[in-house]
Amino acid sequence: MTDGSAPSGAANSAAPIAAGSTTVMGGGAGTADDRNGSDTLLRVEELKTYYPIKAGFLRRTVGHVRAVDGVSFDIKKGEVFGLVGESGCGKTTLGRTIVRLETATEGRVLLDGQDVLAFNRSDVKKMRRRMQVIFQDPVGSLNPRMPISDIIGEGLLAQADDKNGWRDRKVRDKRTSDYLEVVGLRRDYTRRYPHEFSGGQRQRIGIARALALSPDFVFADEPVSALDVSIQSQILNLLVDLREQFDLTFLFVAHNLSVVQYISDRVGVMYLGKLVEMADVAELYAHPRHPYTIALLSAIPQPDPRVKSRRLVLTGDVPSPANPPSGCRFHTRCWLRRQLNNPENCETEDPPFRELASGHRVACHWAESVVDTAVADVVPTIDVEVPTELPTAAEAGAPVVTEIETPSVEEIGAEDEAEQGAADKTKPEMPEGPTPGRVG
């Protein structure tokens, strides 16, 4: 099954991203360090994005939703940095803040050493040529009243000057047709409208719109989540090819951990507005150390019945970003804390985002207590041996967790019933007698 697009070489070949894939890859072409040295294109420093909570007649601010709360990382030139986490953890808000689609509360975003957040309106317009977005919804992100030539050419017209000649309609149409062909669509599609295309073709148009300005950095906000699995593989391979062809740098947001594993060089895991773990893709998938990362990897479906593993199910609800827990934000749901008999510092001290090994950072007080043999019981063994420099529990003087305790289905059901019973007790009792409004 295809999306009806014209063939574009390797861009249409199937990617090995079946659910439960455990092959350690990473962009398909080695790490970014191997290809581009250590040049940092984008650096994020202590970025915060808060939304005020208004209440009362005078609409006073009574609190804040901490969507992004002190996030720091960097992305090297030519690298794909994957960002994963549950819905509502702040992944999309982080990306939108970086490209100035949301207003930052604090922090800095450095693009080649220049603070993007300090740019004035004129500077922001110039910055748009270097930073572009591929949106999640291929339908809602395209204006249904505009032909494809105008959708892609709109950005060219906005950035037109005497040097590039984009004010000329013929020049814009020529560039639009060229980029349609680059993403695997026919050149004569320029006069068609979005409703005439399939979902995969619309996403290709969105990619062409992002590339038309020749950006250096692209924020891909879950670009394949709304597509069929067969189309996802085509779009992913297209992005891999475009990355090599145009030397692009990506911030790639996704829910599917197999997708992130396939396309990324490094991966960051977010929870409740903060980064909790970050490492090279092979290192993270082979040697996860944060209890939340291990739970996410345990949730990947395994299509091979010969692969035996126990599912690590997190109990409890995700706390509100308007009122996050004290100390470690994950401690209310943390299986590792329970197994270590609830150490006090998990509740009282916010764990630093510290480096355990070269390039592997974790925000957990007890990350050294996790060992690979225990992780292998809930996360299926990967196909490739990945060496690591992570310290052992003995070297760190930490207790060792040799087996991860997973709650049974009966225990989870009992907890759900208890929560439901408590909720039922708070419901007001219905009055006896005939239902109001009905005639007996």
Q: Which run of H or of E encompasses 98?
A: helix 91-98
Scan for tokens 């401690």, then name that residue. Answer: 331
Task: Find the mean pLDDT for residues 171-184.
Answer: 95
CB atoms within 10 A of CB 89: 24
Q: According to the model, what pLDDT value does residue 10 have?
A: 40
Which pLDDT band, with edges at 50, 70 and 90, does 293 fall under?
very high
- The identity of residue 222, as a single letter, is E
Q: According to the model, what pLDDT value does residue 415 have?
A: 56
Per the CB < 8 A criterion, the answer to whether 200 and 234 are in contact is: yes
pTM for the whole thing?
0.83
Position with higher pLDDT, 405 vs 166 = 166
Scan for tokens 């390039």, then name that residue. Answer: 359
Q: Write the pLDDT tens digit of every residue in 332-351.
A: 999 999 999 999 999 999 99
Query: Lowest-pLDDT range, 87-91, 115-119, 129-133, 311-315?
Result: 311-315
Q: What share of the chain is helix, strand, coil (3-state, %, to 5)?
A: 35, 20, 45
Per the CB < 8 A criterion, the answer to whether 336 and 369 are in contact is: yes
Position with higher pLDDT, 170 vs 435 = 170
Is pLDDT above 80 for 380?
no
> What does residue 129 show for φ and ψ, rounded to 5 degrees?
-70, -25
Q: According to the model, what pLDDT value does residue 189 have?
A: 95
Q: Write the pLDDT tens digit of every residue in 233-288.
A: 999 999 999 999 999 999 999 988 889 999 999 999 999 999 999 999 999 999 99
Alpha helices in 128-228 (DSSP H): 148-158, 169-182, 199-211
Q: According to the model, what pLDDT value does residue 38 have?
A: 57
Instruction: Locate 192 and state its tokens.
Output: 């068609």
CA atoms of 27 and 30, how far apart (whole Å): 7
Q: According to the model, what pLDDT value does residue 267 have?
A: 97
The mean pLDDT of the chain is: 85
Scan for tokens 């494809």, then name that residue. Answer: 148
- The identity of residue 331, as a single letter, is H
CB-count burial class (<10 Å; 0-12, 13-18, 19+) for 321: buried
Cα Rg of the chain (Å, integer): 24
Helix axes of 199-211 and 229-246: crossing angle, nearest 10 degrees: 20
Which pLDDT band, with edges at 50, 70 and 90, does 425 fall under?
low
Q: According to the model, what pLDDT value does residue 35 have?
A: 41
CA 111 to chain centre: 20
Q: According to the model, what pLDDT value does residue 381 have?
A: 59
Contacts of 408 (CB under 8 A, 6+ apart): none
Q: According to the model, what pLDDT value does residue 408 have?
A: 55
Alpha helices in 247-375 (DSSP H): 257-263, 281-286, 291-298, 335-339, 345-348, 372-375
CB atoms within 10 A of CB 37: 11
CA atoms of 74 and 249, how far apart (whole Å): 11
CA atoms of 146 and 157, how far apart (whole Å): 14
Position with higher pLDDT, 421 vs 114 = 114
CA atoms of 347 and 330, how far apart (whole Å): 9
Q: According to the model, what pLDDT value does residue 405 have?
A: 84
Is pLDDT above 60 for 416?
no
Query: Lowest-pLDDT range, 218-227, 276-285, 305-314?
Result: 305-314
